[in-house]
Amino acid sequence: MQLSRQNTNHRVSNKFTAFWLAAIAIGMVGVAFASEPLYKLFCEVTGYAGTTRVAANAVSNDKILERVIEIKFDSNVNAKLPWRFRPVTNGVKVKIGEEVIAFYEATNLSKKPIVGTALFNVTPYTSAQYFNKIECFCFSEQVLKPGETVQMPVTFYVDPNIKNDVWENDLKTITLSYTFFMAEDQSAAIKINKSEASMGKAAFGVPRNQIREVFSYIGDSNLKKGENL
């Protein structure tokens, strides 16, 4: 009887522990998504959201497979960043190993320059180790002026070694997703603001008394011309 009671208490304790562990994990994910630095740290530490690889070069033509896979493109913007961000095309079908270039488009909807930074993920997560980026706008921060729209490229390929992974034999689709956040360092945007302000002063910073003198001179000249007539 006592042993049965101990087993019951042990099961209750395990369920209680599991519940709190799950609650903490969910809370970590929620906080991570709300903050770009925490989101990045969370992904780096846990491998969450499909961390991809960076490649220096594309594969040789003789290693490109006939097997075709569909790459879908997804986009998201953090609520604190007043940008519009979308893929130019929703997806593309490519041969495994084939080098591909795709474009995303971003527009600054605010009235001031803003520096943005993009984080990415690949789903299904197990395919991330075979998704290789050669060039990507996510490798550096992007600065957009007020109302500016830019198209940003990403060059990638799917590693032919995926053919050796029995777990990926039935893989038909990979989704590449980006989320843009407002960068913590806005110094580049501040620099643009100061530069434009200086240009404005240079163009329109003529003292009012000088403007009056110019118009007075023009008026006097016209008056004298009329007297001569």
In DSSP terms, 155 is beta-bridged to 101, 135
Same domain, 25 and 101: no
Residue 199 lies in a domain: no
Per-block average pLDDT, block size 10, for the chain (229 residues)? Answer: 50 50 48 51 46 68 93 97 97 96 98 96 92 93 97 96 94 96 94 76 50 51 52
Residue 134 lies in a domain: yes
Same domain, 66 and 160: yes
Same domain, 22 and 112: no
Same domain, 138 and 182: yes
Q: In what order do the strands lie in the sheet with 68-77?
A: 91-95, 68-77, 173-182, 114-123, 142-144
Same domain, 30 and 50: no
Same domain, 8 and 56: no
Residue 55 lies in a domain: yes
- Per-residue pLDDT at 32: 43
Same domain, 16 and 127: no
**Cα angle 29-44-72, degrees, rounded to a multiple of 5:** 75
Same domain, 56 and 169: yes
Same domain, 54 and 28: no
Residue 210 lies in a domain: no
Give the CATH number for residue 163. 2.60.370.10
- Per-residue pLDDT at 38: 58
What is the residue range of 102's domain? 46-188
Total tally of structural domains belonging to the chain? 2
Same domain, 129 and 67: yes
Same domain, 67 and 134: yes
Q: How many CA atoms lie within 13 A of 91 on its CB side?
A: 11
Residue 204 lies in a domain: no
pTM of the model: 0.65
Cβ atoms of 118 and 154 within 8 Å: the answer is no
Same domain, 53 and 8: no
Residue 113 lies in a domain: yes
Report cis status (omega within 30 of 0) of the bond before 124: yes
